[in-house]
Amino acid sequence: MEEDKYRTVNAIAEGLYKEKGSRFISFIYPVKSEEEIKDIVTGLKTKYYDARHHCYAYCLGANRERFRANDDGEPSSTAGKPILGQIISNDLSNVLIVVIRYFGGIKLGVSGLIQAYKEAAADAINHAEIVERTVDEVIHVRFTYVVMNDVMKVLKEEEPDILSRNFEMECEMTLSIRQKDMPRLRERLLKIESLSIEE
């Protein structure tokens, strides 16, 4: 896969796995930051306050450079790791999977737990719509009215997303484009007289 592309989920999806009376309810979320993940996990712990465990794993970044697995009181590596394993084996990133366990009275043992968390995570993934996204970069450009046509010509040809524009005293735009296309866009814009770029 190209460096600036990754697979993620389009929206929240839910899964379920039952074993010997225990219920494993799973959720997959598209996420962008650790703060967002913290809020989601806290929210689920509040909503499902009567569940025994709220185990989760996440991967962030196009190359999954930031990841974490949390067993939330289950024996070490029996919950978070199998959840993380499902994220990685499905080649997903910028996702969080939380599996909430309601204990059914019968212990599942280490291998049973690993299997249950793996299956619950897989079920959430199976219910999700998987999409391909690109890693985008954002720049802020300023220029004078005189060069407006030159700027618009470059934008028409390079096709960045225009996130905001302000044409009052001087012209300002916030642009977003796929990472691999940014150097060319930047180079072409900087050739325009009086134009400046802020990261």
Domain boundaries, the chain: 5-133, 135-198
CB-count exposure of residue 102 (10 Å: 0-12, 13-18, 19+): middle
**Torsion angle, alpha carbons of 6, 88, 95, 177, to 10:** -10
- How far CA 166 is from CA of 57, 137, 172, in Å, comes to 41, 20, 5
Fold match flag (5-133 vs 135-198): no
pLDDT of residue 113: 97
Per-residue pLDDT, 62: 84
Separation CA 68–CA 43 (nearest Å): 18
Judge if pTM exceeds 0.75: yes
Distance CA 19, CA 101 (A): 11
Residue tagged 């978070």 (tokens): 80
User: What integer pLDDT is reported at residue 168 of this predicted model?
Assistant: 84
* 135-198 classified as CATH 3.90.25.10: no
Angle, helix 182-190 to helix 148-158, in steps of 10 degrees: 160
- Residue 144's pLDDT is 92
Question: Which CATH code is given to the segment(s) 5-133?
Answer: 3.30.230.30
For residue 108, what pLDDT is reported? Answer: 94
Looking only at the bridges linking them, the beta strands covering 5-9 and 130-134 are antiparallel
pLDDT of residue 122: 98
* Segments of the chain scoring below 50 in pLDDT: 1
